[in-house]
Amino acid sequence: MERRRVGTSGLEVSRLALGTMTWSRDTGADEAGAQLDAFLDAGGTLLDTAAAYADGGAEALIGSLLGGTVSRRDVQICTKAGVRRTPEGGVVDASRTTLLQTLDASLERLGTDYVDLWLVHAFDAATPLEETVHALEIAVLSGRARYVGVSNFPGWATAWAAELARPRPGLAAVQAEYSLLERGVEREVLPAAHALGLGLLAWSPLGRGVLTGKYRTAIPADSRAASEHLAGFVEPYLDERASAIVEAVATAASGLDRTPLEVALAWVRDAPGVAAAIVGARTAEQLILSLETEDVTLPDAIRAALDEVTAPHVGYPERRAS
């Protein structure tokens, strides 16, 4: 699998990352192990997880796998902190204390003394961004994180954090949702990342599974949309607009003798500024379908057509700046 540099940093990762949001909850240890083996066999290196995934269960499962036949040297780990669980649900908390306590707990669950990339999971309007960035600096200087970045930040906050982090620790990456169904990052996040040397890690490049075409006629019983935990995650993309985009992707795939999954994933993976597309799956068989896109390159005409069909609304002031 091709490897890419994350922005202008020295970090190089596989251009597909393995997402673990469902691990230990909807994906058990045996299936997770099979996914990891398939991913590494395909040349993948980057595992994406978070302290909030299954309340730490995903990290613990990764740690148990790394303690077996998989060497820590074979993988790069990206984890996230800044969302903590309360009786009322998840709360964004990017304070220095919470971030560093969460990182220490993540390292213990993962069974490692460092992560390759550590991200602030979400923007916290209640905490001064200087304090949040200071936690990133402490993590790097203490050796607990090799590189740092932010996730799900708006464009202005991404740019502000990157400036506050200069010259050290320096931000390497921004993680955000990006697919043919969600191109909002193109308005400000991607331009900011490009200007400041950050690489984009694109989560849910298959539009939360909808772009595979699996929901064109019904909701499969074994799909995320039928899951108690993830139905609300998929539901926003089961509307008329999404349906029209899925049909456009299916038409393009038919003309290329490819699957909708291959077309949708290749579009994100090869979009300007993307360092890696994060793919998650319920089973190893599903994951392999994504891993087999390595030889897929979209013709310029197909990419242009999909760009036109899915173009995000751009108004004032972005339109004047473009």
Rounded to whole angstroms, how far apart are CA atoms 102 and 291?
Answer: 31
Report the candidate in 225, 181, 172, 227 with the shortest Cα–Cα distance to residue 203. Answer: 181
- Annotated active-site residue 53? The verdict is yes
For 82, other C-beta atoms within 10 Å of its C-beta total: 27
3-class DSSP state for residue 128? coil
Q: ∠ CA 254-303-308 to the nearest 5 degrees?
A: 105
Looking at residue 170, its amino acid is G
Task: Tell me the C-alpha to C-alpha distance, in Å, between residue 322 and each of 5, 180, 182, 318.
Answer: 26, 20, 19, 6
20 contacts 53 by C-beta, under 8 angstroms: yes
Q: Could you say which of 53, 178, 215, 237 is catalytic?
A: 53
150 contacts 171 by C-beta, under 8 angstroms: yes
Active-site positions read 53
